[in-house]
Chain A
């Protein structure tokens, strides 16, 4: 059984029928008809399956698998949108999905890295963030700062910090935050979130799909 998380920029797969299932990842622009799966989630997923599960449900199921606590906030930061699940007493308390003000957040962060030839592993945490509402609107703050003499790397770092704080507030400003998605690998983003952050990596949704497959098989 093949599972697929079809994100805007990257798609992740897990083949449960293999001896030792291991996730693999490809850029979504390389997707073709050969990538049909048994169960899919994600922005692009409906085109590649007959069994689609929406991302919030899958995120929650993934969180249930990976987080031992019965009260937690899990935030998924994707290329195109951000979403969170808040559990208390082992059950759903709140949730959110922002595809408007969270628009293109992860995508913009990656785009800026390439455009300015930066390595987020090396960028220091800035003193203060830009006040930005979304990836698209925040771009103009970067260009304004660069024009006024701020180094590229500092302007981008302030942008990333602003975006991270927005995402944190969107998730309800928790004291502890579990993070899902590709931005787990971006230390500047993770360090910019003003609370304890536990990165779970970019395969949380695959874990959720695995739980759904297992439940369906029972």
Chain B
């Protein structure tokens, strides 16, 4: 393997991450904001009204020097990723390698259930996609007082509004478990705690987030685009406060 820098989109299968780690290849998670550049730079390649995560992928790819991109296009990611893979193939001369991650071996979800700042939890989980090592000392589980269901948001600032005792559900929990296509796990939520069901605007998961929020006895559906505006943050604050969640 002659790669030094590789980008990943979604969660490629564990075997690929293991191979990249074995060759000491630097992995860049293109789903996360890595570049401070205007999102408008992506408009020649993707519509403006499109998933902010995939627009971020293109923005990162435009600015990083990469030898290849692994992009998961299976049920653990989304149809849009398949189409973005086609766009990336025409944008760059490097290999764009599509994968379908159907890993079923669970790594556990201790971070999702721990007492820790929600932002910190998300950072640890998203950072975890670059390695294949099971955490040696997983943090202990706490009693949850609130829930966050969904994908890692493009704008992490909304996570600061939640208490440390927030449990993570949805695709982010699948992400920690390294089973991104585990639909049953993705559907799981705790009906006993107030839960925000989050999805990126224009993502297919908005349907599921909204559906589950309606089913949940005390759920709030929320979506946001590139950045979360004041009204999105106010909704979270008010929802938690009016639900009696101690912050």
Contact = CB atoms under 8 A, between A and B. Distances in A.
Interface of A: 54-57, 60, 81, 83, 91-92, 94-100
A91 B218 CA distance: 10
B235 A97 contact: yes
A97 B243 CA distance: 17
B143 interface: no
Interface stretch (B38-46, B130-138, B226-234): B226-234
B239 A95 contact: yes
A139 to B, nearest CB: 22
Contacts of A54: 234, 237-238
B238 A98 contact: no
Interface in B200-247: 218, 220, 229-231, 234-235, 237-239, 241-243
Chain A to chain B: the 4 pairs with minimum beta-carbon distance, closest first: A56-B238, A97-B231, A54-B234, A57-B238
A99 B238 contact: no
Given A54-B237, A81-B231, 4 more contacts: A57-B238, A94-B220, A97-B234, A99-B231
A100 to B, nearest CB: 8
A81 B218 CA distance: 25
A215 to B, nearest CB: 12
Interface string B86-111: 00000000000000000000000000
Given A56-B235, A94-B220, A99 B241 contact: no
Contact of B242 (A83, A92, A99): A92
Nearest to A94: B220
A57 B235 CA distance: 9
Size bin of chain B's contact surface: 10 to 19
A40 B165 CA distance: 29
A91 to B, nearest CB: 8
B234 A92 contact: no
B220 A60 contact: no
A60 B231 contact: no
B113 to A, nearest CB: 25
Contacts of A57: 237-238, 241-242
A82 to B, nearest CB: 10
A95 B220 CA distance: 8
Contacts of B242: 56-57, 60, 91-92, 95
A99 B230 contact: yes
Contacts of B231: 81, 83, 97-99
Contact of A55 (B218, B229, B234, B243): B234
Q: Which of B229, B230, B243 has its CB near the most chain A CB atoms (within 10 A)? A: B230
A92 B235 contact: no
B233 to A, nearest CB: 8
Contacts of B241: 57
Contacts of A97: 231, 234-235
A92 B213 CA distance: 13
A96 B237 CA distance: 12
B231 to A, nearest CB: 4
Nearest to B232: A97
A94 B218 CA distance: 8
Contacts of B220: 94-95
Nearest to B234: A54
A81 B231 CA distance: 10
Contacts of B234: 54-56, 97
Nearest to A83: B231
A217 B239 CA distance: 23
